[in-house]
Amino acid sequence: MKIFSVFDPEFTPYGQVIKGYDFVSLLQKLEQVSEKPSDGVVYVPSVDALESLPVFSQLQNNAYGGMPIQIGYCNGTNTKLNCLEYHRDSEINVMADDAILLVAREDEIVDGKLDTACVKAFLSPKGTAVEVFATTLHYAPCSAKLGEGFRVIIVLPRGTNTDKPDIIPLNQEDSRLLARNKWLLAHPESSEAENGAYIGLTGENIDIAALI
């Protein structure tokens, strides 16, 4: 697997680098209020201390066109794919550390399954903000250097990744709904699959440890 950069043209189908925002205070606050686990990954959808900063209203009104949003984080140490998820909208990631995004496209799902051979890797350097398109499958970032962790700001429409709505399944996609606005395909080797998540990834559970 080759690791591209989010600045490379190969990233164009999956997202875009966002410019024009000052994320310095947001990233400083993230370091103050969050830990960086060395033995796993932690995700928090919404953090008051991050949402109280001026950039919150800029992201809500400019990037999301006035839609209600939340700002949280995904921190930790990770080298494996494990799962891919998607939302009905774009997700913004702001990197407090170098991180690698493993992504694929929603249109590469065939009969509810995605071959992990479709997955591509992109390095997003510290300080970079990227929009991950709604049609892009993604999950927890990966470490950019073996043994080193990452902190990544996660911006999404408010309520995303919180309690799953109580639905009567109407189609095959409904079986992938794991949380609010979160459809997930798990690899059979993942802990998510062991806990009952929809198994939708075939092929190798990608591990980039040998590449970083």
Put simply, whether the predicted model's pTM sits higher than 0.95 gets the answer yes
pLDDT digits (tens, 9 = 90+) for 12-63: 999 999 999 999 999 999 999 999 999 999 999 999 999 999 999 999 999 9
Q: How many Å apart are CA 93 and CA 37, to the nearest integer? A: 18
pLDDT digits (tens, 9 = 90+) for 107-141: 999 999 999 999 999 999 999 999 999 999 999 99
Q: What is the mean pLDDT of residues 176-198?
A: 98
Quick one: tokens of 80? 């494996």
Maximum pairwise Cα distance, the chain: 45
Chain-wide mean pLDDT for the chain? Answer: 98
Cβ pair 72, 44 in contact under 8 A: yes
Say which CATH topology domain 3-79+89-160 has. Answer: Jelly Rolls (2.60.120)
Q: What is the mean pLDDT of residues 149-173?
A: 97
Structure confidence at residue 49 (pLDDT): 98
Three-state DSSP at 81 gives: coil
Sorted by where each begins, the domain ranges of the chain are 3-79+89-160
